[in-house]
Structure 1
Amino acid sequence: MTETAAHPGDAHRPRERVRPQVSLWLPPAAWDALPAALLLLNVLTTRAPHELPAAAALTAALALPLLWRRRAPRAVFAAGAAAALLQWLADVQLPADIALLIALYTVAAHSGRRAALLAATVVQTGVVLACLRWTTPGAFPTPFVAATAAVLAATALGLNARTTRAYLAAVQERAARLEREQEQQARLAVTEERTRIAREMHDIVTHNLSVMVALTDAAVCTQHSAPERTAAAMLQVGETGRQALTDMRRTLGVLRTDEPDAERHPLPGIAQLDALADQMRAAGLPTRLHVHGAHAHLPATAQLTVYRLVQEALTNTLRHTPAGTRAEVRIHCSARDVTVDVTDTGPRRARPAPTAPGHDIPGHGAPGHGIPGMRERSAAYGGTLRAGPLPARGWEVHTRLHLDNAAGAARA
């Protein structure tokens, strides 16, 4: 089959015949059988008929064990050394002695250094005996040096192959361990992100729905006596719903690849607490806000934590206190920490002390995530949340966020 010309101008060029590529890859068993086959072929083609039986038998004893050298390197070497000793006793010189060097290389490559040195000593002893018997007088140094160099080379190559194989195995094991660690870190990151989103969604939904319920109840009560207040309340309900949708879209936007840049939906912070207080007043909870110290230098994540803590505390007050309750928020900002205090004047008996973990307001029977979520946010900045009734009346939520805590920036 010939190649066709790609262009008309190539019509006069000689066509090249496509030759199939031949792979030189052979299985390990074939490579182990190759030396034995070559050594036996050499004996069969070079020895005289009267020398052939002994030479062929000794060559087979030296070469055939190489077929199992990878599975039992020490046994194969011992068999080869015994065959070499018989060869020396029978006074038969054979090129098959190279099989002993191959066995020595295998021992060095697959066994420890002690076994390699012992095998090299055995082969070197055989070199001395062979040179003493088969070299002519005065010619001992040259074959001895050449054979000794071959022994050293086989040992060194085997030890180097063993070291290289151990190094590659260590690299592969390290790569596999690193891959497992990366997968674990990715799973942990996904879990942390899911927890963060769930906490954000809880705060957004709980707060805004509580405000909308309070506004709706107020609108129903005033629909006949004060229609203008009913209209204002319903307008506030709509505004609150739109704000909730915006917050939810910003929070869930990280899950969408086509979501616009987060800067189009900035995170709420301390500057937005005034709007939050206005929203709570409109819902029927008179709220006073006091912010002491500059807060422009605070990280966005820290400001978001402060905002969510205040939002959750006010939402709990709105949900669990009767009409006429007042709330007060005090924020103290410094270069190293931020203190958050939220108190109200609700009846002390209205909300029992939080003795059962996992409940927003113990005694209501249904497990919630409000106070536990507030504790998690505070703990991310090394703080401890205190939530409970005041000595006389009312409820207090207090925490201090440490801005130099490294975990806060990563987990808030």
Structure 2
Amino acid sequence: MPPFTQTRFRLPRGARADAALASGTFVLVAIAEGQRLRGGEGSMPSVIVSWLLIVAVCGALLFRRRAPVAVGWFTVLATGVYYVLSAVDGPLVLVPIVALYVIASQGRMQAAIAMAAAMVIGVGVGALMPESDVTGTAVFMLTGWLVAVVALGSVRHGRVAYAEEEARLRATEERLRIARELHDVIGHNISMINVQSGAALHRLKKDPAQAEAALSAIKAGSRETLQELRATLDVLRRVDEDAPRAPAPGLARVDALVASAELAGLAVRIERTGGERALPAPVDLAVYRIMQESLTNAARHSGAEHVAIRIAYWDRDLTVAVEDDGRGSAARPARPGGGSGIAGMTERARALGGELVAGPRPEGGFAVRARLPYGTAGQPTEWSSR
């Protein structure tokens, strides 16, 4: 048995919808005009002209998506001529009303208001004509309908524009998130490989044993880089909602991070205070990436030898500080664009409702300090003095 989503009735869209609308309107108007023919009302030339106008106005709906304003004005004028010639008060007025809604829903409010005003003025002039069947009540009701149609079209346009803008913002945020992840995944390991390869070349003749250790570290780092890159690309390619097969980076992998930094020549010390707890996945990933990027900068730019990482678990948030004894901010040039370096770390912290500061230390070196709340992302808490 086919699934319900394949068997339920679906309304036509696009050109089929235009054809269905034009055909349906033509049938309604033709039925009303047929009553005129049976009653013998009007001369043959007026009947022929009326039918030609009916076909032209209804057929114009087929082009309402290509040239909505031109179609709108044509249907208004042709419908006005039809009502002047025809003695039948048929439903042909539905066609310019539909065209008016289409124009308003596209945000072309000046054209929509001008068309609505022309229709009201035309019907009002007809009401003033002698022996006219149009009354002031009809003019008032038509005005209300046209105002409602324009308002509904404007609301539709606003909702579509809001949905499109929201989709663009989500796509931009997702691109920035992917850029940060790729930078953090690849940038750290590649930087460490660069430092270690330089050390291996320097020690190759003087100390082959240390050169061999550096080359082993390069091999391990490149393998880890490929694994993380494949895992990231696997997530991007995945079309279903299966959970990732590999665990996301977090504090559980901090020892491997420290070992990689030590192979690059950094002496890393970790201090933990407060009661350790299980962290929400976004916080766990953010603190890992902040430490990763800070160690990368220390190894690549500052010429530091010692790095201290201080992790503190507080009641409402976690703080992490990465301090080195390198050359300070002079060795850390600003990088253009977002999603990398200090800018990327700052974006991660702010996305979780926290904050991050980075700069040279008074006693020398460089420090990165971040506060990450345990709670919902986007709900900042006060920075406590500690």
Is the TM value for this pair above 0.5?
A: yes
Residues in 1 aligned to 2:344 and 2:363: alpha-carbon distance in whole angstroms: 27
Alignment of 1:285 onto 2:266: yes
Same amino acid, percent of matched pairs: 34
From 46, 57, 78, the counterpart of 2:128: 78
| Residues 1:196 and 1:335: Cα distance change in structure 2 (over 3 Å) | same
Alignment of 1:107 onto 2:139: yes
Alpha-carbon RMSD across the aligned residues, in angstroms, is: 3.6
| Residues 1:322 and 1:76: Cα distance change in structure 2 (over 3 Å) | closer
Residues in 2 aligned to 1:30 and 1:212: alpha-carbon distance in whole angstroms: 80
Instruction: Give yes or no for contact 2:42–2:87 (8 Å, CA) kept in 1.
Output: no
Residues in 1 aligned to 2:156 and 2:171: alpha-carbon distance in whole angstroms: 22
Alignment of 1:343 onto 2:328: no
From 200, 204, 209, the counterpart of 1:223: 204
Residues in 1 aligned to 2:324 and 2:190: alpha-carbon distance in whole angstroms: 20
Residues in 1 aligned to 2:298 and 2:152: alpha-carbon distance in whole angstroms: 59
Deviations 1:126-147 (A, max 9, x none): xxxxxxxxxxxxxxxxxxxxxx
Alignment of 1:407 onto 2:378: yes
Unpaired runs of 5+ residues, structure 1, are 1-22, 44-61, 84-98, 113-161, 354-359
How do 1:127-276 and structure 2 match up within 5 A? 162=145, 170-171=151-152, 173-257=154-238, 261-276=242-257
Offset at residue 255 of structure 1 (A): 2.5
Moved more, 24-33 or 241-250: 24-33
| Residues 1:254 and 1:191: Cα distance change in structure 2 (over 3 Å) | farther
Query: Greater relative contact order: 1 or 2 (C-alpha under 8 angstroms, separation 6 or more)?
Result: 2
Pairs aligned (count): 288
Deviations 1:367-392 (A, max 9, x none): 47311111111222333322122112
Instruction: Give yes or no for contact 1:33–1:66 (8 Å, CA) kept in 2.
Output: no
Residues in 2 aligned to 1:252 and 1:244: alpha-carbon distance in whole angstroms: 12
Query: Partner of 2:107 in structure 1?
Result: none
Residues in 2 aligned to 1:337 and 1:24: alpha-carbon distance in whole angstroms: 64
Deviations 1:326-369 (A, max 9, x none): 000001123411111111122xxx3346xxxxxx813xx86473
Unpaired runs of 5+ residues, structure 2, are 1-22, 44-82, 94-118, 381-386
Larger of the two Rg values belongs to structure: 1
Query: Partner of 1:392 in structure 2?
Result: 363
Instruction: Give yes or no for contact 1:375–1:384 (8 Å, CA) kept in 2.
Output: yes
Deviations 1:139-188 (A, max 9, x none): xxxxxxxxxxxxxxxxxxxxxxx3xx766665554444333322221211
Deviations 1:215-272 (A, max 9, x none): 2222223334443333222221111111111222233333313699443122111111
Instruction: Give yes or no for contact 1:203–1:308 (8 Å, CA) kept in 2.
Output: yes
Q: SS of the residue aligned with 1:178?
A: helix
**TM-score after normalising by structure 1:** 0.60
Deviations 1:16-36 (A, max 9, x none): xxxxxxx88537876786676
Offset at residue 284 of structure 1 (A): 0.7
Q: Which amino acid in the other structure matches residue 255 of structure 2?
A: D
Query: Partner of 1:305 in structure 2?
Result: 286
Q: Which amino acid in the other structure matches residue 366 of structure 2?
A: W
Residues in 2 aligned to 1:384 and 1:327: alpha-carbon distance in whole angstroms: 21
Q: SS of the residue aligned with 2:355?
A: coil
Q: SS of the residue aligned with 2:26?
A: coil
Instruction: Give yes or no for contact 2:329–2:366 (8 Å, CA) kept in 1.
Output: no
Query: Partner of 2:343 in structure 1?
Result: 372
Query: Partner of 2:311 in structure 1?
Result: 331
Offset at residue 310 of structure 1 (A): 0.8
Q: SS of the residue aligned with 1:263?
A: coil
Deviations 1:258-289 (A, max 9, x none): 69944312211111112111111111101011
| Residues 1:295 and 1:66: Cα distance change in structure 2 (over 3 Å) | farther
Q: SS of the residue aligned with 1:400?
A: strand
Residues in 1 aligned to 2:89 and 2:34: alpha-carbon distance in whole angstroms: 13
Alignment of 1:26 onto 2:26: yes
